[in-house]
Amino acid sequence: MQREILARKNQITLVSGILILIGLFGHFVLHSTVVFNTAFIIASILGATPIAIQAYQSLKVKVISIDVLVTIAVIGAFAIQNYEESAIVTFLFLFGSYLEQRTLNKTRSAIRSLTEMAPESALLQTENGEFVEVDVDDVDEGAILLVKTGARVPVDGTVLIGEGHINEASITGESLPVTKVEGSGVFAGTILENGTIQIRADKVGEDTTFGKIIELVEEAQDSKSEAERFIDRFSKYYTPVVLVIAFIAWLFTRDVELGITILVLGCPGALVIGVPVSNVAGIGNGARHGVLLKGSEVIGDFSRVDTIVFDKTGTLTVGNPEVAEKAYYNEDTEIILGYLASIERESDHPLAKAVLKEIGETTFSSVENTEVVKGGGIIATVEGKRVAVGNVALMEREKVGLNEQARQDIARFEKNGNSLVLTAVDGELTVLMGIRDQIRPGVKEDLQALKRLGVKDLVVLSGDNQGTVDLVAAELGLTEAHGHMLPEDKSAYIGKLQEQGQIVAFVGDGVNDSPSLALADIGIAMGSGTDVAIETSDVVLMNSDFSRLPHALGLTKITARNMKQNILIAVGVVLLLLGSLLFSDWMNMAIGMLVHEGSILVVILNGMRLLNFSLKGDKKGTVTDPKSDFILEK
């Protein structure tokens, strides 16, 4: 019975709120005492039931929780027929609990999502050389497997026969598919975008890199126990003190009403609603500005972050490779670009797609005698001309002469972190294109804003090569940059920072980021990232708008401050009421109730100020909060 009642706490809260509205309607509109009292009596009993159950359960384990005080206060208010107080207190308490807990279980679905992404079957070579589909759990180390275009690699292994392009974003975060040839290593969970390969299974099941990712997420989530709320910690002292004061007052005066009045005035109505209203306003502001904050605990932790670690691809960069630089060495540019487009449109390689996007509309020609050069590029005949498209090694193979200007351009493009696509026609270099993943517009300014908000260290971790990562770090002014990082390397690095006492936030967007997102004190996911990354995270930047990150940090800082203000207001009012009741003659139930309800209104209005929060420079028509980079709109 108790479980059923607690399981329906949200429905009880809703019904209680409706009854309170009915009671107010009956009092102010219908002027009916019967409707007013009936609605509030039912709301009091209904709302007090789950609170009383929680109080009973806490007392069973010898803990005097805030539920105990609320229960006693409600019974007291009910006993002296102050039904509106008992009803409102129970509703506020239940509503606050609802706001605090509504998002706590979201990350658990991430484990299920990861499991669903894991390969389920594999094409296993039998003794007669044929390949049959088997369950991936039936694959042993040393087995020979076949992977076709579009399939997931079922195990960690080594390519024995064939070649192809594999999308390793789920493991390394690398935006460009990696060419795999004989002897290359492959990871379970990655996707073969084109080609056909046979691999030898080196690691299977939980021993694969993908299996380790799932394990890391599970461990990280298990290690993130819910922090005990400040109000609960405070109530360990507050609740017994109020109870003792009420009992002592009754003991010396034998005035039951005085004892009940102390409990009623000591009931933490403003304390109960103060923190939730700040949370609701802060979360509402975040949602309006494209930031999803998953609960009050997130707000508190995020406000204290001093180190932010970033994944590179899809986070600091756009995630889609584009032609960043180009050079032409022939006057017939339009004709040459037509040849290039004609060849590239027959390829599904990401670099080819970037080239086609750069060229745009053009005249296509028929392509003949196509030859794919392993690790080099493509050679074909277009309108009777021999056209070679590929890297520098292919140009050397074709004995294409590279003059001093071309060599300088190649060196400069490579230094800038580009992948090179060269085009030669009949042995003459005609076009050079540099392709790279572009840095998100405005990221540098956003990172500077984070520093102004108190973040000391900005670190980038990436599966890309160290040279590319260093270029990004230098351009953006980051504190540290580390390349060639697998998921376990990233999470280990974050763990190291935490051991040093740093409060770490991690920003990422892929499956490979989920262990780090879960392990970090605050995980921040880009909204266009995978469902796993979003569900594992504590904060989501909707539409992958990186510029919302400074707003999110500033918002959590001022929201945390606002919560502390409301706690001080609530506790201060209670102390004032109790002190006045015990040590003055002017305090009575009516005045106490007026001040008590007034304090609730004050904390609500204080919390609602957060709805208009913004950062300096975000919008026009704002006024500055002199203590920070924060502003509140007029």
Give ∠ CA 305-309-314 in degrees, rounded to 5: 130
The CB-based long-range contact list for 602-607 (8 Å cut-off, 24+ gap) reads 602/270, 602/569, 603/270, 603/273, 603/274, 603/277, 603/566, 603/569, 603/570, 604/273, 604/277, 606/278, 606/562, 606/565, 606/566, 606/569, 607/274, 607/277, 607/278, 607/280, 607/281, 607/562, 607/566
CB-based contacts of 215, cutoff 8 Å, min separation 6: 206
> Helix or strand or coil: residue 201?
strand
Closest to 503 measured CA to CA, from 263, 302, 288, 343: 302
Q: Determine contact, residues 2/51, Cβ cutoff 8 Å.
A: no
* Pairing mode of beta strands 480-482, 178-180: unpaired
Query: What does the alpha-carbon distance between residue 457 and residue 504 come to, in Å, rounded to a whole number?
Result: 9
HSE-CB at 323 with a 13 A cutoff on CA atoms is: 17
Q: Determine contact, residues 192/150, Cβ cutoff 8 Å.
A: yes
Return the number of other C-beta atoms located less than 10 Å from residue 248's C-beta.
Answer: 13
Closest to 525 measured CA to CA, from 542, 512, 509: 509
Return the number of other C-beta atoms located less than 10 Å from residue 228's C-beta.
Answer: 10
Query: What does the alpha-carbon distance between residue 330 and residue 430 come to, in Å, rounded to a whole number?
Result: 5
Active-site positions read 311
* Sheet arrangement for strand 457-461: 291-293, 539-541, 522-526, 504-508, 307-311, 457-461, 480-482
* Pairing mode of beta strands 385-390, 291-293: unpaired
* Pairing mode of beta strands 185-186, 191-203: unpaired
Q: Determine contact, residues 264/245, Cβ cutoff 8 Å.
A: no
CB-based contacts of 601, cutoff 8 Å, min separation 6: none
The CB-based long-range contact list for 392-398 (8 Å cut-off, 24+ gap) reads 392/420, 392/422, 394/422, 395/422, 395/424, 395/429, 397/373, 398/424, 398/427
Query: What does the alpha-carbon distance between residue 199 and residue 207 come to, in Å, rounded to a whole number?
Result: 17
